[in-house]
Structure 1
Amino acid sequence: MAIALNTKLAEGVQKAAAEAGLAVVNGQESAGFNGIPTEKYTLALVSAPEGHTFTLELSAGFDITAANIAPAVRAYLLESAKRLTNPRPDVFVTLGGLPVSFTNWQWPFHLSVSGADTYVVHGGATLEDGKTAADQYLKAKVSASMTVTFAEVVAAPEQPFAEGFIYNAVRKILDQGQMELTKSGGNRQVVPVTTRYYSAKQGKFIFNDTTAQQRADYLLSKIYWLSGVLGGGAPVWIADPRDAQYLNTTVEELKKTAESLAGEGILKLDPKFEYASSTEPLMAHHAEYEHHLQDALDFTRPTFNEEMRAGHTNM
């Protein structure tokens, strides 16, 4: 462990990480997008210190041991530890069939410099199709925002409390065709997180109302891309609460769906119904998944100027 910080936050992060089966590989002082001091940590599984890592960035002085904060931080780290066992822990799949990685997010939220009454966090989303050269990746620069009023439902504007619903909001926006992925990344595209994604009555985020068939299709798409294409057949965590939130279902329902699919022989499932891997029958649907990906990409591209692009204009 090469942590270089000697702060109360660093002590708390090390303790919380250890309880989740994680090791702090590195810790350093940093700064958020607006220059506010932060502490940035690189974490890895204790059981695989040379394997995958993820970055945790928190406001300097943030008290993760507070009674209203510690349980959520613990849950976040436990989930993160599970994702680190995936071949690509940074990749999530959309309902439309886009495998997208989330990178370079600058936590925590900060007040918008435009003067608007909003909190903003910046990051990136990149299409991961397993075949495109790195310099040709399709990507987007993202500016996720929430109003100061809406922020009141979030315990803290920090990564452990907001990362899940922000990533799900980006997936939702892609499903709606309201974010374009380009080779340059273009200008920052706004992803507003509003009350339309949150049920005050139920006290939870709701991004999609899915059917049993949609959830089954989603799991197969996830296993196809994360295990079959990007993971060389390695198992993928399918009991992910972040996916359950995105699909408006439960982890138990996802496990039952996976069990049913395993019974059909289209995926391989571990005895606890938590991890699944691809099979030859699933990978035989290669053309179908490539078609879904292309359709989803086409849906995100603006069509208002296609005639002009083709040179068909009276101007």
Structure 2
Amino acid sequence: MADLFGFLRFIINLILYPFALAFLFFYRCLQWLGLQPTAHNYHDNIVLITGSGNGLGREIALAFAKAGASLALWDIDDAGNRETQQQCLAILHSQNSSSRVRVYHVDVTRAADVYDCAKRVSYDLGQVTILVPNAGYVSGRSLLTESDSDIERTFGVNSLSPIWLIKAFLPYMLDANRGHIVLVSSVLGVHASHGPITYVSSKHASVGLSRSLRMDIHATHPYSRVSVHCICPYIMRTRMFNPLTNHVLLQSVVPIISPRYVAKQILDAIEWRRDEVILPYRLKYIAFIADYILPRWLTEWLVFKVSGRRPLDAFHKDNEEHTREKRKKHAQTVQKENID
């Protein structure tokens, strides 16, 4: 089996290298012609990030803080959000920056709460110029065992909340003729997989939203400088996907990525005005080969080999271990209280 995986890795690399070399040659030609990313002064930008209490949202906030932007941080995890705020303020203070960081407790699945808090942000900081709907949710259950409330929350967080946010902040961006909307989707929003069906569906919705919104802005405001970006990362080492990271195979071909790397790529997407970014970049070529060159049965076999036929089992195991740990800590606390 190891020899088979080694042979597959060799074939994939053999196919990918010409694409990589062609892209590198094209990129160097653009640099030689003097093409550079758009100079961005983030000091006069107000960035709103949802799901900023931990994981990718925190790294995005830290990346924008290093760039000097003012931040509006939205999350329902108040403790985590305050920790993100303190880390961002420390960065800004070290730079002697006058930018500000405010935290807000918002359930982004509630449209009324989103609209109300949008007004508070405008009053506290000013008009948002960079919107990053990053908040995400996955139940870790299959469609037939997932509760209706979990399904509603999955679509509420992943699909509907970006729509509420766009309705709240896009009108100002269009009037001011400046702004960036950065939708954080997933590779699973471009290429479907088995297992978390509702999560995959919700991320397909966010990719479709980005493409449709981009076309609509171009149709109704042909000369608008408002940009729509969609970031589609592979599995990251975050609290949401920690149960999967130790069960994914072929990481030498498609490595699990860090949220800090994704956050950096978000700023690059804004500066280079990239519409749709798949991370890591090699996945774009691998997906092209899987969709248009390999037979369907081989593509599915490779997907099953990478993630297993029952990838959600990892979530159940992690949840059971987490539950056991919580019960153990509770028992120790009760025992200590009885002793005291």
Bigger radius of gyration: 2
Between Structure 1 and Structure 2, which shows a larger proportion of strand residues?
1
Higher relative contact order (CA 8 A, sep 6+): 2
Fold shared by both chains (TM-score > 0.5)? no
TM-score scaled by length of structure 1: 0.27
TM-score scaled by length of structure 2: 0.25
Between Structure 1 and Structure 2, which shows a larger proportion of helix residues?
2
